[in-house]
Amino acid sequence: MGIQFSLVSPLALPTAENLGDPLLPFPHSPELDFALKAVETGVEICIPIYAGTHQGALKKIDASPVTIADFSVQAVTAAMLADRFPDDVLVAEESSAVLREAENAYTLQAVTDVFSHHYRQASPEDVCGWIDRGSSNPQTRFWVMDPVDGTKGFLRGGQYVVALALIEAGEIMVSALGCPHLDEQLQPNFEDGGVMLLAERSGGAWLRPVKGAVWRRLQVSSQRQTELARAAHSFEPTHTNHDLLRALLAELGTNMETIPMDSQAKYAMIAGGSCDLLYRLTSSGRPPGAECIWDHAAGALMVTEAGGRITDLNGEPLDFMQGRTLAVNEGVLVTNGILHDAALDVYRRVTEEAG
Ligand code: AMP
Ligand code: MG
Protein backbone atom coordinates (compact mmCIF):
# COMPACT_ATOMS: atom_id res chain seq x y z
CA MET A 1 0.00 0.00 0.00
CA GLY A 2 1.49 3.36 -1.03
CA ILE A 3 1.15 6.65 0.72
CA GLN A 4 -1.66 8.92 -0.46
CA PHE A 5 -0.90 12.63 -0.33
CA SER A 6 -3.52 15.19 0.52
CA LEU A 7 -3.27 18.94 0.75
CA VAL A 8 -4.68 20.03 4.07
CA SER A 9 -5.45 23.72 3.82
CA PRO A 10 -4.42 25.76 6.87
CA LEU A 11 -7.85 27.37 6.57
CA ALA A 12 -9.80 24.12 6.48
CA LEU A 13 -12.61 24.07 8.98
CA PRO A 14 -12.49 21.24 11.52
CA THR A 15 -14.51 18.23 10.44
CA ALA A 16 -15.35 15.01 12.24
CA GLU A 17 -12.34 13.58 10.44
CA ASN A 18 -9.73 16.10 11.59
CA LEU A 19 -11.38 17.59 14.68
CA GLY A 20 -8.63 18.41 17.12
CA ASP A 21 -5.91 17.63 14.56
CA PRO A 22 -3.17 20.19 14.29
CA LEU A 23 -3.52 21.40 10.70
CA LEU A 24 -0.29 21.01 8.84
CA PRO A 25 0.37 23.87 6.41
CA PHE A 26 2.10 21.65 3.83
CA PRO A 27 1.04 18.72 1.66
CA HIS A 28 1.24 15.53 3.65
CA SER A 29 -0.01 11.96 3.86
CA PRO A 30 -2.45 10.56 6.43
CA GLU A 31 0.55 8.60 7.70
CA LEU A 32 2.29 11.83 8.72
CA ASP A 33 -0.82 12.94 10.61
CA PHE A 34 -0.73 9.63 12.42
CA ALA A 35 2.99 9.91 13.22
CA LEU A 36 2.44 13.38 14.67
CA LYS A 37 -0.48 12.26 16.81
CA ALA A 38 1.35 9.17 18.08
CA VAL A 39 4.55 11.03 18.96
CA GLU A 40 2.66 13.92 20.57
CA THR A 41 0.87 11.39 22.75
CA GLY A 42 4.22 9.79 23.52
CA VAL A 43 5.68 13.11 24.66
CA GLU A 44 2.58 13.79 26.81
CA ILE A 45 3.14 10.43 28.48
CA CYS A 46 6.87 10.97 29.03
CA ILE A 47 6.91 14.47 30.49
CA PRO A 48 5.21 13.78 33.84
CA ILE A 49 7.05 10.47 34.25
CA TYR A 50 10.39 12.24 33.60
CA ALA A 51 9.49 14.77 36.25
CA GLY A 52 9.05 11.97 38.79
CA THR A 53 11.71 9.48 37.78
CA HIS A 54 11.95 8.36 41.42
CA GLN A 55 9.85 5.47 40.08
CA GLY A 56 13.15 4.20 38.67
CA ALA A 57 13.88 1.64 36.03
CA LEU A 58 13.82 -2.09 35.47
CA LYS A 59 16.77 -3.91 33.95
CA LYS A 60 16.45 -5.79 30.67
CA ILE A 61 18.32 -9.02 29.92
CA ASP A 62 21.21 -6.99 28.43
CA ALA A 63 21.27 -4.93 31.68
CA SER A 64 20.11 -1.76 29.91
CA PRO A 65 17.40 0.21 31.73
CA VAL A 66 13.72 0.45 30.77
CA THR A 67 11.09 2.66 32.42
CA ILE A 68 7.32 3.01 32.73
CA ALA A 69 7.60 5.62 29.97
CA ASP A 70 9.25 3.24 27.46
CA PHE A 71 6.57 0.59 27.99
CA SER A 72 3.63 3.00 28.06
CA VAL A 73 4.59 4.91 24.91
CA GLN A 74 5.17 1.68 22.97
CA ALA A 75 1.85 0.15 24.15
CA VAL A 76 -0.20 3.25 23.32
CA THR A 77 1.45 3.67 19.90
CA ALA A 78 0.80 0.01 19.06
CA ALA A 79 -2.88 0.37 20.01
CA MET A 80 -3.23 3.64 18.06
CA LEU A 81 -1.60 2.00 15.02
CA ALA A 82 -3.90 -1.02 15.20
CA ASP A 83 -6.89 1.34 15.23
CA ARG A 84 -5.66 3.61 12.40
CA PHE A 85 -3.70 1.25 10.11
CA PRO A 86 -4.74 -2.25 11.21
CA ASP A 87 -2.63 -4.09 8.64
CA ASP A 88 0.60 -2.30 9.50
CA VAL A 89 3.48 -3.93 11.37
CA LEU A 90 5.36 -2.30 14.26
CA VAL A 91 9.05 -2.89 14.95
CA ALA A 92 9.86 -1.36 18.32
CA GLU A 93 12.49 -1.67 21.00
CA GLU A 94 10.65 -3.04 24.04
CA SER A 95 9.11 -6.42 24.93
CA SER A 96 6.86 -7.26 27.87
CA ALA A 97 9.14 -10.07 29.16
CA VAL A 98 10.58 -8.24 32.16
CA LEU A 99 7.22 -6.59 32.91
CA ARG A 100 5.55 -10.00 33.25
CA GLU A 101 7.90 -11.07 36.06
CA ALA A 102 6.01 -11.35 39.35
CA GLU A 103 8.35 -8.93 41.15
CA ASN A 104 7.46 -6.23 38.57
CA ALA A 105 3.69 -6.41 39.04
CA TYR A 106 3.75 -2.89 40.52
CA THR A 107 5.41 -1.48 37.41
CA LEU A 108 3.01 -3.36 35.12
CA GLN A 109 0.09 -1.83 37.03
CA ALA A 110 1.64 1.63 36.64
CA VAL A 111 2.01 1.11 32.87
CA THR A 112 -1.59 -0.12 32.72
CA ASP A 113 -2.76 3.01 34.56
CA VAL A 114 -0.84 5.28 32.16
CA PHE A 115 -2.26 3.41 29.15
CA SER A 116 -5.82 3.64 30.48
CA HIS A 117 -5.41 7.34 31.25
CA HIS A 118 -3.94 8.29 27.84
CA TYR A 119 -5.81 5.96 25.50
CA ARG A 120 -8.52 3.61 26.76
CA GLN A 121 -9.33 1.25 29.60
CA ALA A 122 -7.14 -1.86 29.43
CA SER A 123 -5.99 -4.79 31.58
CA PRO A 124 -2.34 -5.59 32.38
CA GLU A 125 -2.61 -8.54 29.97
CA ASP A 126 -3.92 -6.25 27.20
CA VAL A 127 -1.04 -3.85 27.78
CA CYS A 128 1.57 -6.64 27.53
CA GLY A 129 -0.11 -7.70 24.28
CA TRP A 130 0.15 -4.17 22.86
CA ILE A 131 3.81 -3.88 23.83
CA ASP A 132 4.57 -7.19 22.13
CA ARG A 133 3.01 -5.98 18.88
CA GLY A 134 6.39 -4.27 18.54
CA SER A 135 8.29 -7.57 18.39
CA SER A 136 7.77 -7.93 14.63
CA ASN A 137 10.50 -8.01 12.04
CA PRO A 138 10.67 -5.58 9.12
CA GLN A 139 8.25 -6.32 6.25
CA THR A 140 7.60 -4.53 2.96
CA ARG A 141 5.78 -1.83 4.93
CA PHE A 142 6.40 -1.29 8.64
CA TRP A 143 6.61 1.34 11.37
CA VAL A 144 9.71 1.56 13.50
CA MET A 145 9.71 3.11 16.95
CA ASP A 146 12.00 3.91 19.81
CA PRO A 147 9.44 4.84 22.48
CA VAL A 148 12.11 6.54 24.59
CA ASP A 149 15.36 6.92 22.69
CA GLY A 150 18.04 7.78 25.24
CA THR A 151 16.54 6.01 28.25
CA LYS A 152 19.80 6.59 30.13
CA GLY A 153 19.45 10.33 29.44
CA PHE A 154 15.80 10.16 30.54
CA LEU A 155 16.89 8.69 33.88
CA ARG A 156 19.88 11.02 34.31
CA GLY A 157 17.91 14.20 33.66
CA GLY A 158 19.38 14.57 30.16
CA GLN A 159 18.10 14.42 26.60
CA TYR A 160 15.69 11.85 25.21
CA VAL A 161 13.29 11.71 22.25
CA VAL A 162 10.22 9.78 21.11
CA ALA A 163 11.00 8.48 17.61
CA LEU A 164 8.69 6.97 14.98
CA ALA A 165 9.13 6.32 11.26
CA LEU A 166 7.36 4.48 8.44
CA ILE A 167 9.45 2.41 6.04
CA GLU A 168 8.15 1.07 2.73
CA ALA A 169 10.28 -1.13 0.47
CA GLY A 170 13.38 -0.02 2.35
CA GLU A 171 12.69 3.72 2.00
CA ILE A 172 11.84 5.88 5.01
CA MET A 173 8.59 7.61 4.04
CA VAL A 174 7.58 9.65 7.08
CA SER A 175 9.12 10.32 10.45
CA ALA A 176 8.41 12.16 13.68
CA LEU A 177 10.71 13.10 16.56
CA GLY A 178 9.32 14.45 19.81
CA CYS A 179 12.16 16.30 21.56
CA PRO A 180 11.05 17.56 25.01
CA HIS A 181 14.41 19.16 25.78
CA LEU A 182 15.31 21.04 22.60
CA ASP A 183 14.10 24.51 21.71
CA GLU A 184 13.15 26.15 18.43
CA GLN A 185 16.80 26.90 17.70
CA LEU A 186 17.53 23.21 18.20
CA GLN A 187 19.56 23.93 21.31
CA PRO A 188 19.24 22.06 24.62
CA ASN A 189 16.53 23.72 26.70
CA PHE A 190 14.86 22.07 29.67
CA GLU A 191 12.34 24.85 30.35
CA ASP A 192 10.33 25.63 27.23
CA GLY A 193 8.44 22.38 26.68
CA GLY A 194 10.30 21.03 23.67
CA VAL A 195 9.74 20.73 19.94
CA MET A 196 8.07 18.37 17.48
CA LEU A 197 9.83 17.52 14.23
CA LEU A 198 8.17 15.94 11.20
CA ALA A 199 9.51 14.80 7.86
CA GLU A 200 7.91 13.36 4.77
CA ARG A 201 9.88 11.89 1.87
CA SER A 202 10.32 14.68 -0.74
CA GLY A 203 8.17 16.94 1.47
CA GLY A 204 10.79 18.48 3.72
CA ALA A 205 11.47 18.46 7.46
CA TRP A 206 9.44 20.70 9.74
CA LEU A 207 9.45 21.93 13.33
CA ARG A 208 7.09 23.53 15.76
CA PRO A 209 7.18 23.93 19.54
CA VAL A 210 5.27 21.19 21.38
CA LYS A 211 3.03 23.92 22.75
CA GLY A 212 2.98 26.01 19.56
CA ALA A 213 1.00 26.17 16.34
CA VAL A 214 3.40 27.50 13.70
CA TRP A 215 5.52 25.13 11.63
CA ARG A 216 8.81 26.17 10.04
CA ARG A 217 10.88 24.28 7.53
CA LEU A 218 14.23 22.91 8.68
CA GLN A 219 17.51 23.39 6.89
CA VAL A 220 20.91 21.93 7.77
CA SER A 221 23.87 24.26 8.32
CA SER A 222 25.90 25.63 5.45
CA GLN A 223 29.17 25.01 7.29
CA ARG A 224 31.88 23.95 4.86
CA GLN A 225 34.97 24.67 6.96
CA THR A 226 36.06 21.50 8.73
CA GLU A 227 37.85 23.54 11.42
CA LEU A 228 34.49 25.06 12.40
CA ALA A 229 32.51 21.79 12.27
CA ARG A 230 30.51 21.13 15.43
CA ALA A 231 30.49 17.39 16.14
CA ALA A 232 28.03 15.56 18.39
CA HIS A 233 28.55 12.20 20.07
CA SER A 234 26.81 9.94 22.62
CA PHE A 235 26.74 11.24 26.17
CA GLU A 236 27.30 7.69 27.44
CA PRO A 237 31.03 6.88 27.25
CA THR A 238 30.30 3.19 26.56
CA HIS A 239 28.26 4.00 23.44
CA THR A 240 31.20 5.15 21.33
CA ASN A 241 34.94 4.74 20.83
CA HIS A 242 36.45 7.88 22.30
CA ASP A 243 40.05 7.26 21.19
CA LEU A 244 39.00 6.83 17.58
CA LEU A 245 36.61 9.79 17.77
CA ARG A 246 39.42 12.03 19.08
CA ALA A 247 41.69 10.87 16.26
CA LEU A 248 39.01 11.52 13.62
CA LEU A 249 38.20 15.01 14.87
CA ALA A 250 41.90 15.86 15.09
CA GLU A 251 42.44 14.72 11.50
CA LEU A 252 39.36 16.66 10.41
CA GLY A 253 40.96 19.66 12.13
CA THR A 254 37.89 20.88 14.00
CA ASN A 255 38.61 23.41 16.72
CA MET A 256 35.06 23.41 18.04
CA GLU A 257 33.94 21.85 21.31
CA THR A 258 32.12 18.57 20.80
CA ILE A 259 28.48 18.18 21.85
CA PRO A 260 27.82 15.18 24.14
CA MET A 261 24.14 14.29 23.86
CA ASP A 262 21.84 11.31 24.30
CA SER A 263 19.47 10.01 21.63
CA GLN A 264 18.40 11.16 18.16
CA ALA A 265 18.24 14.70 19.56
CA LYS A 266 21.66 14.81 17.83
CA TYR A 267 19.95 14.20 14.47
CA ALA A 268 17.41 16.92 15.24
CA MET A 269 20.27 19.36 15.90
CA ILE A 270 21.92 18.47 12.58
CA ALA A 271 18.58 18.81 10.73
CA GLY A 272 18.10 22.26 12.26
CA GLY A 273 21.66 23.44 11.62
CA SER A 274 22.86 23.74 15.25
CA CYS A 275 25.33 20.86 14.77
CA ASP A 276 27.17 19.74 11.64
CA LEU A 277 28.42 16.20 12.07
CA LEU A 278 28.03 12.93 13.96
CA TYR A 279 30.34 9.90 13.77
CA ARG A 280 28.53 6.95 15.35
CA LEU A 281 31.39 4.59 16.07
CA THR A 282 31.20 1.04 17.38
CA SER A 283 32.26 0.83 21.01
CA SER A 284 34.73 -1.88 21.99
CA GLY A 285 33.16 -5.27 22.63
CA ARG A 286 30.18 -4.51 20.37
CA PRO A 287 30.11 -6.24 16.99
CA PRO A 288 29.72 -4.10 13.86
CA GLY A 289 26.19 -4.23 12.49
CA ALA A 290 24.63 -4.06 15.98
CA GLU A 291 22.99 -0.65 15.54
CA CYS A 292 19.22 -0.96 16.10
CA ILE A 293 17.05 0.43 13.31
CA TRP A 294 14.85 2.40 15.77
CA ASP A 295 17.91 4.40 16.88
CA HIS A 296 18.36 5.87 13.38
CA ALA A 297 15.28 5.66 11.11
CA ALA A 298 13.30 8.72 12.23
CA GLY A 299 16.39 10.90 12.58
CA ALA A 300 17.74 9.78 9.21
CA LEU A 301 14.76 11.09 7.22
CA MET A 302 14.74 14.30 9.29
CA VAL A 303 18.34 15.00 8.30
CA THR A 304 18.05 14.10 4.61
CA GLU A 305 14.81 16.10 4.19
CA ALA A 306 16.59 19.08 5.76
CA GLY A 307 19.33 18.79 3.13
CA GLY A 308 21.85 16.64 5.01
CA ARG A 309 23.32 13.23 4.34
CA ILE A 310 23.51 9.92 6.20
CA THR A 311 25.50 6.80 5.31
CA ASP A 312 27.51 4.24 7.18
CA LEU A 313 31.18 4.94 7.93
CA ASN A 314 32.20 3.46 4.57
CA GLY A 315 29.80 5.67 2.64
CA GLU A 316 27.25 2.90 2.08
CA PRO A 317 23.51 3.65 2.38
CA LEU A 318 21.83 2.42 5.58
CA ASP A 319 19.89 -0.78 4.88
CA PHE A 320 16.72 -0.89 6.99
CA MET A 321 15.58 -4.23 5.55
CA GLN A 322 18.10 -6.53 7.24
CA GLY A 323 16.06 -7.26 10.36
CA ARG A 324 15.91 -5.28 13.61
CA THR A 325 19.52 -4.10 13.27
CA LEU A 326 21.56 -2.37 10.57
CA ALA A 327 23.28 -5.72 10.12
CA VAL A 328 25.21 -4.91 6.94
CA ASN A 329 26.31 -1.41 7.95
CA GLU A 330 29.39 -0.36 9.88
CA GLY A 331 28.53 2.55 12.17
CA VAL A 332 26.78 5.69 10.95
CA LEU A 333 27.91 9.07 9.65
CA VAL A 334 25.47 11.99 9.70
CA THR A 335 26.41 15.42 8.32
CA ASN A 336 25.04 18.60 6.81
CA GLY A 337 25.90 17.03 3.43
CA ILE A 338 28.66 19.49 2.56
CA LEU A 339 31.09 17.94 5.05
CA HIS A 340 30.18 14.33 4.24
CA ASP A 341 32.87 13.37 1.76
CA ALA A 342 35.60 15.00 3.84
CA ALA A 343 34.38 13.12 6.93
CA LEU A 344 34.29 9.80 5.05
CA ASP A 345 37.77 10.44 3.72
CA VAL A 346 39.08 11.17 7.21
CA TYR A 347 37.51 7.97 8.52
CA ARG A 348 39.13 5.91 5.75
CA ARG A 349 42.57 7.48 6.29
CA VAL A 350 42.56 7.22 10.09
CA THR A 351 41.31 3.62 10.21
CA GLU A 352 43.74 2.53 7.48
CA GLU A 353 46.65 4.09 9.38
CA ALA A 354 45.53 2.33 12.56
CA GLY A 355 45.58 -0.93 10.58
P1 AMP B 1 22.89 7.42 22.24
O2 AMP B 1 22.11 8.12 23.27
O3 AMP B 1 23.09 8.16 20.97
O4 AMP B 1 24.16 6.85 22.77
O5 AMP B 1 22.00 6.22 21.73
C6 AMP B 1 21.19 5.51 22.61
C7 AMP B 1 20.95 4.17 22.01
O8 AMP B 1 22.19 3.49 21.87
C9 AMP B 1 20.11 3.27 22.88
O10 AMP B 1 18.76 3.34 22.48
C11 AMP B 1 20.67 1.89 22.64
O12 AMP B 1 19.85 1.16 21.76
C13 AMP B 1 21.97 2.12 21.93
N14 AMP B 1 23.10 1.47 22.62
C15 AMP B 1 23.08 0.80 23.76
N16 AMP B 1 24.33 0.34 24.07
C17 AMP B 1 25.13 0.74 23.07
C18 AMP B 1 26.53 0.59 22.80
N19 AMP B 1 27.33 -0.08 23.60
N20 AMP B 1 27.00 1.15 21.68
C21 AMP B 1 26.20 1.85 20.85
N22 AMP B 1 24.88 2.02 21.08
C23 AMP B 1 24.35 1.48 22.17
MG1 MG C 1 17.30 4.13 21.53
Residues 6+ apart with CB under 8 A from 293: 91, 138, 144, 320, 324, 325, 326
Q: Look up residue 245 and give its DSSP letter.
A: H
User: Which letter does DSSP use for residue 258 in this model?
Assistant: P
Per-residue DSSP letters for 308-322?
-EEE-TTSPPP-TTS
Is residue 187 within 6 Å of ligand 1 at its C-beta? no
CA of 24 to the centre of ligand 1 (A): 32
**What's the confidence (pLDDT) of residue 191?**
95
For 219-277, the pLDDT digits (tens) are 999 999 999 999 999 999 999 999 999 999 999 999 899 999 999 999 999 999 999 99
- Residue 316: the pLDDT is 98
Please tell me if the CB atom of residue 109 comes closer than 6 angstroms to any atom of ligand 1.
no
Q: Which CATH architecture has domain 226-354?
A: 3-Layer(aba) Sandwich (3.40)
In this prediction, residue 5 carries a pLDDT of 43
The number of residues in the chain equals: 355
CA distance 346 to 10: 46
Residues with catalytic roles:
70, 151
Give how far Cα 67 sits from Cα of 49, 132, 148, Å: 9, 16, 9
* Protein residue with its CA nearest to atom 17 in ligand 1: 239
Kindly list the protein residues that place their beta carbon closer than 5 angstroms to ligand 2, a single-atom ion.
Answer: 146, 149, 295
Of the candidates 207, 156, 154, 159, the one whose C-alpha atom is nearest the C-alpha of residue 48 is: 154
Take atom 20 of ligand 1 and give the residue whose Cα is closest. 239
Cβ of 283 closer than 6 Å to ligand 1, yes or no, is yes
Give pLDDT, residue 25.
85
Rounded Cα distance between 134 and 92, Å, is 5
**Topology match between the domains 30-217 and 226-354:** no
pLDDT computed for residue 2 by the predictor: 52
- Domain coordinates of the chain in residue numbers? 30-217, 226-354
Supply the pLDDT for residue 262. 98
pLDDT for position 355? 74
- Cα(209) to ligand 1 centroid in Å equals 26
Closest CA to 159 of 280, 240, 230, 260: 260
The whole-angstrom separation of Cα 241 and Cα 254 is: 18
Q: Are 111 and 95 in contact (CB under 8 A)?
A: no
Nearest CA to ligand 1 atom 23: 239
> Which residue, among 183, 260, 255, has the nearest Cα to 223 in the 3D structure?
255
Q: Which residues are within 8 A (CB) of 273 and not within 5 positions of it... i.e. 6 or more apart? A: 186, 218, 219, 220, 221, 222, 306, 336
Spacing, Cα 227 to ligand 2 middle (Å):
30
Q: What would the DSSP string read from start to end of 68-110?
A: HHHHHHHHHHHHHHHHHSTT-EEEES--STGGGSGGGHHHHHH
How many angstroms is it from 16 CA to the middle of ligand 2?
A: 36
Whether the CB-CB separation of 343 and 245 falls below 8 Å is answered with: no
pLDDT of residue 52: 84
Residue 153 CA, closest ligand 1 atom number: 2
Could you tell me the distance, in angstroms and rounded to a whole number, from the CA of residue 78 to the centre of ligand 1? 23
At the topology level, CATH places domain 30-217 in: Fructose-1,6-Bisphosphatase; Chain A, domain 1 (3.30.540)
Contacts for 122-127: CB closer than 8 Å, 24+ residues apart: 122/79, 127/71, 127/75, 127/96
Write the residue with the smallest CA distance to atom 22 of ligand 1: 239
Q: Is 292 in the pocket of ligand 1 (CB under 6 A)?
A: yes
Q: Residue 40 CA to chain centroid, in angstroms?
A: 13
Nearest CA to ligand 1 atom 21: 239
pTM (global) more than 0.85 = yes
pLDDT of residue 17: 43
* Phi-psi domain of 325 (left: phi exceeds 0; alpha: psi -120 through 50; beta: other): beta
Cα(93)–Cα(111) distance, rounded to whole angstroms? 16
How would you write the pLDDT of the chain (355 residues) with one tens digit per residue?
Answer: 455 444 333 333 334 344 344 578 888 999 999 999 999 999 999 999 998 864 678 888 888 888 999 999 999 999 999 999 999 999 999 999 999 999 999 999 999 999 999 999 999 999 999 999 999 999 999 999 999 999 999 999 999 999 999 999 999 999 999 999 999 999 999 999 999 999 999 999 999 999 998 999 999 999 999 999 999 999 999 999 999 999 999 999 998 999 999 999 999 999 999 999 999 999 888 888 999 999 999 999 999 999 999 999 999 999 999 999 999 999 999 999 999 999 999 999 999 988 7
276 lines ligand 1 (CB under 6 A): no
Of 160, 295, 296, best ligand 1 pocket probe by most atoms within 8 Å of the beta carbon = 295
Strand partners, 256: none
pLDDT digits (tens, 9 = 90+) for 123-154: 999 999 999 999 999 999 999 999 999 999 99
Distance 179 CA to ligand 2 centre (A): 13
263 lines ligand 1 (CB under 6 A): yes
pLDDT attached to residue 136:
96
The Å distance, Cα 280 to ligand 1 centre, comes to 10
Identify which of 67, 73, 234, 279 to mutate to test ligand 1's pocket (most ligand atoms within 8 A of the CB): 234
CB distance 234 to ligand 1 below 6 Å: yes
Residue 261 CA: nearest ligand 1 atom is 2
